[in-house]
């Protein structure tokens, strides 16, 4: 069979553990056993490849990741395409330093803050030394990057719901992105605050072109214009354009967000509490931003109800809070998981969301809904 015709047919991960005859000892502790994962990649020609993952603790968790996260982007592909497959796999695990582990920590950390609040009979925003906000300004997120008719209908719906700030998705090409920004500004008039989110669509030169147009249209911010790891690109873009830049939803920890903040490349930092290690690490990022006079605007995106609730708590507490991302698309994991909604567009008053005053996150989980959405 020609190498070009070869296809990956299956990926099997074998989680292994062996007890050592002699426990090993290092400065980090004792290692009485070792875990590894052996990876078996099968092809349609019958050729089998073997690999190994370092998996210091819990090889079953790594094996699960290989089979459920990586395998779907491998099966059917040519095994010689190592460079593009590597990128595809990295993308599945959200790639940059942090990834799955820090997102896992986030869930645990948010739950710990909920416990602390319940023990103290205080809402989390008070434990955080809250800024005392009873309500927080919300912006509508987002107008989809679809055709003009859909974008116009979604924008008019946001206005009808009382939003005073709206975010608009844009993408390639710069000309199409600028046309969309012009259309929405024309629909809402000069008083509504508008921002755009490019989700990394541009390179530095394209982003410069779009940024100039956004500044002329009086946009509030230009979100994730370029890939998040291009820190130098953000710094250059900041020098080239007048529009405020926003980013941070792709960062996992404060040390990653540090360069964007310390160079003042962004005017708004947007960590997602369910990605950026929970309330503990997200607050570190928001505090770091505050020290550099950069605003904090929580990212919620496609996360669920508990992320939204934790974001509301942080928003209520942080001195440099700017505006809360209020998602406007139907998301059962945000709307149905709690017995009473928090931070939802259906409950806004004058474009503001109420801050729960109950203990902890101020939420009650609907256990029936929890069971209904559980896939295990
Ligand atoms: Mg975004």
33-47 per-position pLDDT tens digit: 888 888 898 999 999
Identify the pLDDT of residue 96: 56
Query: CA 88, CA 91: separation in Å to the nearest integer?
Result: 5
Backbone angles phi, psi at 243, to 5 degrees: -70, 145
pLDDT of 170 above 60 = yes
Identify the pLDDT of residue 317: 97
Ligand 1 center–CA 224 separation, angstroms: 6
Percent of the chain with pLDDT over 70: 98
Ligand 1 center–CA 371 separation, angstroms: 30
Q: Pick the residue with more confidence: 94 or 192? A: 192
- Range 239-265 average pLDDT: 95
Ligand 1 center–CA 141 separation, angstroms: 9
CB–CB of 106/277 below 8 Å? yes
Ligand 1 center–CA 302 separation, angstroms: 10
Burial of 330 (0-12, 13-18, 19+ CB in 10 A): exposed
CB–CB of 184/162 below 8 Å? no
Long-range pairs, 282-286, Cβ under 8 A, ≥24 = 282/314, 283/128, 283/314, 283/317, 283/318, 284/254, 285/248, 285/251, 285/253, 285/254, 285/257, 285/261, 286/314, 286/318, 286/320, 286/321
Q: What is the CATH number of domain 117-373?
A: 3.20.20.120
- Range 18-26 average pLDDT: 84
Beta bridge partners of 246: 223, 268
- Range 274-303 average pLDDT: 95
Identify the pLDDT of residue 2: 77
Identify the pLDDT of residue 236: 98
Class of 3-92 in CATH: alpha beta
Ligand 1 center–CA 35 separation, angstroms: 37
Mean pLDDT for the chain?
92
Same fold, 3-92 and 117-373: no
pLDDT of 103 above 60 = yes
pLDDT of 228 above 80 = yes
Of 4-8, 28-32, 155-159, 353-357, the poorest mean pLDDT is in: 28-32
Phi-psi region of 76 (alpha: psi -120 to 50; beta: other; left: phi over 0): left
Q: Could you tell me which of 312, 13, 3, 310 has the C-alpha nearest to residue 138? A: 312
Query: CA 125, CA 141: separation in Å to the nearest integer?
Result: 23
Residue 27 binned pLDDT confidence (cut-offs 50, 70, 90): confident
**DSSP helix, strand, coil percent of the chain (3-state; round to 5):** 40, 25, 35
Query: CA 265, CA 233: separation in Å to the nearest integer?
Result: 9
Ligand 1 center–CA 222 separation, angstroms: 10
Query: CA 137, CA 176: separation in Å to the nearest integer?
Result: 30
Beta bridge partners of 18: 34
Q: Could you tell me which of 57, 158, 110, 116 has the C-alpha nearest to residue 311? A: 110
Query: CA 35, CA 16: separation in Å to the nearest integer?
Result: 6
Percent of the chain with pLDDT over 90: 69
Ligand 1 center–CA 301 separation, angstroms: 7
Identify the pLDDT of residue 361: 94
| Residues with CB in 5 Å of ion ligand 1 | 197
pLDDT of 300 above 80 = yes
Ligand 1 center–CA 100 separation, angstroms: 19
pLDDT of 88 above 90 = no
Residue 181 binned pLDDT confidence (cut-offs 50, 70, 90): very high
Ligand 1 center–CA 190 separation, angstroms: 23
Residues 6+ apart with CB under 8 A from 93: 65, 69, 70, 99, 100
Ligand 1 center–CA 199 separation, angstroms: 6
**How confident is the model over 63-78, as pLDDT tens digits?**
998 899 889 999 999 9
pLDDT of 251 above 60 = yes
Ligand 1 center–CA 196 separation, angstroms: 9
Ligand 1 center–CA 201 separation, angstroms: 11
**How confident is the model over 281-292, as pLDDT tens digits?**
999 999 999 999
- Range 329-334 average pLDDT: 89
Domain boundaries, the chain: 3-92, 117-373
Strands (E) across the chain are located at 8-26, 29-43, 48-54, 135-143, 165-169, 193-197, 221-223, 245-247, 268-269, 295-296, 324-327, 352-354
- For helices 231-240 and 254-262, angle between their N-to-C axes, nearest 10 degrees: 30
Sign of CA dihedral 350, 327, 263, 209: negative
Ligand 1 center–CA 258 separation, angstroms: 18
Sign of CA dihedral 366, 372, 373, 376: positive
Q: How many CB atoms neighbour CB 105 within 10 A?
A: 18
Residue 98 binned pLDDT confidence (cut-offs 50, 70, 90): low
Ligand 1 center–CA 341 separation, angstroms: 23
pLDDT of 29 above 90 = no
Of 19-23, 149-153, 226-230, 264-268, the poorest mean pLDDT is in: 19-23
Q: Pick the residue with more confidence: 19 or 323? A: 323
Ligand 1 center–CA 306 separation, angstroms: 19
Ligand 1 center–CA 219 separation, angstroms: 15
Place of tokens 């005053």: 357
Ligand 1 center–CA 268 separation, angstroms: 12
Residue 369 binned pLDDT confidence (cut-offs 50, 70, 90): very high
Identify the pLDDT of residue 243: 98
Ligand 1 center–CA 311 separation, angstroms: 15
């Amino acid at each position: 069979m020609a190498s070009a015709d070869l296809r990956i047919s299956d990926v099997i991960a074998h989680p292994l553990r062996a007890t050592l005859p002699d426990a090993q000892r290092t400065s980090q502790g004792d290692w009485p056993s070792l875990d590894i994962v052996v990876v078996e990649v099968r092809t349609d020609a019958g050729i089998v490849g073997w690999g190994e993952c370092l998996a210091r603790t819990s090889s079953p968790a790594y094996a699960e990741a290989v089979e459920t996260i990586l395998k779907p982007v491998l099966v059917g592909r040519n095994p010689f395409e190592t460079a593009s497959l590597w990128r595809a796999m990295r993308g599945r695990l959200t790639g940059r330093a942090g990834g799955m582990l820090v997102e896992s920590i986030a869930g645990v950390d948010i739950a710990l803050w909920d416990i602390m609040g319940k023990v103290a009979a205080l809402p989390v925003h008070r434990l955080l030394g809250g800024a005392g906000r009873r309500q927080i300004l919300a912006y509508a997120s987002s107008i989809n990057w679809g055709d003009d008719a859909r974008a116009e209908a979604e924008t008019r719906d946001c206005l009808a719901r009382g939003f005073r700030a709206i975010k608009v998705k844009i993408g390639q090409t710069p000309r199409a992105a600028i046309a969309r920004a012009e259309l929405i500004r024309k629909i809402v008039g000069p008083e509504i605050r508008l921002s755009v989110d490019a989700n990394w669509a541009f390179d530095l030169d394209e982003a410069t072109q779009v940024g100039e147009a956004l500044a002329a249209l009086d946009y509030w911010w230009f979100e994730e214009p370029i890939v998040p790891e291009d820190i130098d690109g953000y710094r250059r873009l900041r020098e080239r354009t007048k529009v405020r830049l926003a980013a941070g939803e792709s960062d996992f920890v404060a040390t990653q967000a540090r360069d964007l903040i310390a160079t003042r490349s962004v005017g708004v930092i947007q960590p997602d509490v369910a990605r950026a290690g929970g309330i503990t690490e997200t607050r570190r990022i928001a505090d770091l931003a505050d020290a550099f006079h950069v605003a904090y605007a929580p990212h919620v995106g496609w996360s669920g109800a508990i992320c939204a609730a934790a974001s509301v708590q942080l928003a209520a507490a942080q001195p440099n809070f700017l505006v809360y991302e209020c998602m406007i698309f139907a998301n059962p994991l945000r709307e149905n998981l709690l017995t009473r909604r928090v931070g939802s567009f259906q409950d806004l008053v004058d474009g503001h969301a109420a801050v729960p005053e109950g203990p902890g996150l101020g939420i009650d989980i609907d256990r029936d809904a929890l069971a209904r959405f559980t896939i295990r």
